Structure 1
Amino acid sequence: MRTVAALRARVREWNAAGQSVALVPTMGALHAGHLALVAAGLARADRVVASIFVNPTQFGPNEDFSRYPRREAEDAAALAGAGCHLLFAPTVEEMYPAGFASSVQVAGLTAELDGAHRPGHFDGVATVVSKLLNQAGADFAMFGEKDYQQLLTVRRMAADLDIPTEIVGVPTVREADGLALSSRNAYLSAEERARAALFPKTLMAARDAIRAGTAVETALAEADAALRAAGLVPDYVALRDAETLLPVTVLDRPARILSAIRLGSTRLIDNLAV
């Protein structure tokens, strides 16, 4: 379906029949991680709606909006095979009609980490997700933990704006060598893809060191150095509170180690629970 009106009409039909709905928001170029979100939605709800929309407002001027992979036919087939009931694939004009002038900003959670390195990114995310949640009126919305800062931002936004949809985090799906599945992995050359496996391995080593009692500052510095030595240039390597994303210097509460690296022209993110 291409329009908000058609989407809402179908969801109303399901609701009238007593059926619950889960939403899986995506930008397309789907992989097994996205299909895991569909499976998680099917486990919670009677019907699953997936959206595909490459959202221009969350890309910076020098980012990869124009080259972000778009393959709607293949994605639609994958969703159908995974048991998804409806694909909502609006145009930019449907999402941002002439005169559109509003935005959603979540303070605090978006100030650092990816927020510092991608100014305006999370404003675009919060705006488009608030629209999708309102458009679909779903009972649940599924988000991958790989984009952990995004997950917390969306959860905060939904709570603050009294959007009744439950925001559900789904564990990261990884390749056999540990690399988190991402649509941007398609940008990597064969040589870069082989080196990219060092990204999760380095974070896992830092996590294990912190758990074993190594000082947080030391473990993070060693991870940063190891990534640079492998040609994986980090934007940041940080240990943060799992709920607030405030810095953690002593492991006395649930935390996440989060990092973003640049490998050639590709930027990848990952995180692990500590």
Structure 2
Amino acid sequence: MQTAHSLDVLRTNVSKLRSGGARIGLVPTMGALHEGHLTLVRRALEECDAVVASIFVNPTQFGPNEDLDAYPRQLAQDAAMLESEGCALLWAPEASEMYPDGFVTNIAVTGVSEGLCGADRPGHFDGVATVVNKLFNQVLPDMAFFGEKDFQQLAVIRSMARDLNLSLPHVHSIIGVPTVREADGLAMSSRNRYLSKANRQAAAILPRAMKSAIAAIEAGSDVASCLTQLEGALIEAGFDSVDYAVLADATSLKALERLGGKPARLLVAARIGGTRLIDNMAVSS
């Protein structure tokens, strides 16, 4: 596996891959890799000939009171994990390489970026859209792979690709990969490491409570009541607060009061012990 820290080196290595006729898959990450990220690499290798992974802790998607400085950084360990999975090229730029002096451009994707995490983290999805657009332009992958755990992020990226007529990758080659979960059902996340032992045990109620709410909604129960019960179950289990628990259209992310025959998603964000956990699951109409 080759590692690039500058754009010139990245483009030289991507050109070498492409000159051999390789179909390139991109796996963007912020590092602190776990099994969920490695699953993205494996899926990319199923669809493509060569995988380019990026590791970049993007400062523009962190708010002033968020954990940019505390975000785990373990480049050597992450690189070894990627190489063991067969990744061909690692793109690991410094912030100054991604955002050189005089950088003034911002991409804002309205609609799907509003509400949910967008309400609690103003500007977050602008940072996501801008850096992902840059990654697409830098690597020019044939396909890109993202985890469905960050479902709103995936919706933002797909909307950006559609609206800006991106061709590499176009919207249909931006692939959402199902959430990878721990044995007790908790969605894998780099932030899980922040949980104390007691909070980690309590956090396992989140996917269970979500599944119970989904079963009730699919059986015809009142959506608002099901969401209220879900929030209550989390607080009773030890969560400090629930930012949102929403049944939403799976494409527009607009809140739904009832199922209407289209794909829907239950999305939840809740805080425990200072750690904010997010999760989402499909709901059958």
TM > 0.5 fold call? yes
SS of 1:245's equivalent in the other structure is coil
Deviation at 1:189?
A: 0.8
The alignment covers a number of residue pairs equal to 274
User: What residue is the counterpart of 2:257 in the other structure?
Assistant: 249
Structure 1 residue identity aligned to 2:282: A
What is the CA–CA distance in structure 2 between the aligned matches of 1:62 and 1:72, rounded to whole Å? 24
What is the CA–CA distance in structure 1 between the aligned matches of 2:114 and 2:177, rounded to whole Å? 24
What is the CA–CA distance in structure 2 between the aligned matches of 1:69 and 1:203, rounded to whole Å? 28
What is the CA–CA distance in structure 2 between the aligned matches of 1:44 and 1:201, rounded to whole Å? 32
User: What residue is the counterpart of 1:30 in the other structure?
Assistant: 33
What is the CA–CA distance in structure 2 between the aligned matches of 1:191 and 1:221, rounded to whole Å? 24
Deviation at 1:158?
A: 1.2
Matches within 5 A, 1:112-127: 112-127=115-130
For the 8 Å contact 1:134–1:163, the answer to whether it is kept is no
SS of 1:7's equivalent in the other structure is helix
Structure 1 residue identity aligned to 2:81: A
Structure 2 residue identity aligned to 1:262: R
User: What residue is the counterpart of 1:51 in the other structure?
Assistant: 54
Matches within 5 A, 1:97-116: 97-116=100-119
User: What residue is the counterpart of 2:94 in the other structure?
Assistant: 91
User: What residue is the counterpart of 1:271 in the other structure?
Assistant: 280
Deviation at 1:224?
A: 1.1
20-29 vs 249-258, greater mean Cα deviation: 249-258
Deviation at 1:130?
A: 0.4
Q: Which TM-score applies when normalising by structure 2?
A: 0.95
Structure 2 residue identity aligned to 1:234: V
User: What residue is the counterpart of 1:171 in the other structure?
Assistant: 178
Deviation at 1:200?
A: 0.9
Q: Which TM-score applies when normalising by structure 1?
A: 0.99
Matches within 5 A, 1:143-182: 143-164=146-167, 165=169, 166-182=173-189
Structure 2 residue identity aligned to 1:189: S
SS of 1:14's equivalent in the other structure is helix
SS of 1:22's equivalent in the other structure is strand
Deviation at 1:110?
A: 0.7
Is residue 212 of structure 2 the alignment partner of residue 205 of structure 1?
A: yes
Q: CA RMSD in A?
A: 0.8
Unaligned runs of 5+ in 1: none
SS of 1:156's equivalent in the other structure is helix
Structure 2 residue identity aligned to 1:186: R
Structure 2 residue identity aligned to 1:122: F
Unaligned runs of 5+ in 2: none
